[in-house]
Amino acid sequence: MTRIPIVIDGRTVEAEPETTVAAALLNDGIWGFRSSVESEPRGPVCAMGICFECRVTIDGIPHRRACMELCRPGMEIETGG
């Protein structure tokens, strides 16, 4: 199957087919998806939509759960929010 071009923090990356945004970020070596109120890094814990730790901005919409979104061609993902 063909790989999916997505944009992570302005960089175009080829995601594996049928992967979630969380998996794509981890495959790209990113563990800190966002920052807590006290600026500590946060990343996926449950990977099933419950913990809300993996939130990122997707196509301009903040606080999307990375583990619950499949990668789509051209998707723009911003971490560190």
Residues of the shown chain interacting with another protein in the complex, contacts defined by CB under 8 A: 37, 52, 55, 61-63, 81
| Residues with Cβ within 8 Å of residue 63, at least 6 apart in sequence | 55, 57, 81
Q: Which two tokens stand for residue 40?
A: 């500590």
The distance from CA 10 to its chain's CA centroid, rounded to whole angstroms, is: 13
> For another protein, which is the closer residue by CB, 14 or 51?
51
User: Least distance (Å) from another protein to the CB of residue 52?
Assistant: 7
Residue 23 backbone class (left: φ over 0; alpha: ψ -120 to 50; beta: rest): alpha
User: Least distance (Å) from another protein to the CB of residue 47?
Assistant: 19
> For another protein, which is the closer residue by CB, 2 or 38?
38
> For another protein, which is the closer residue by CB, 1 or 37?
37
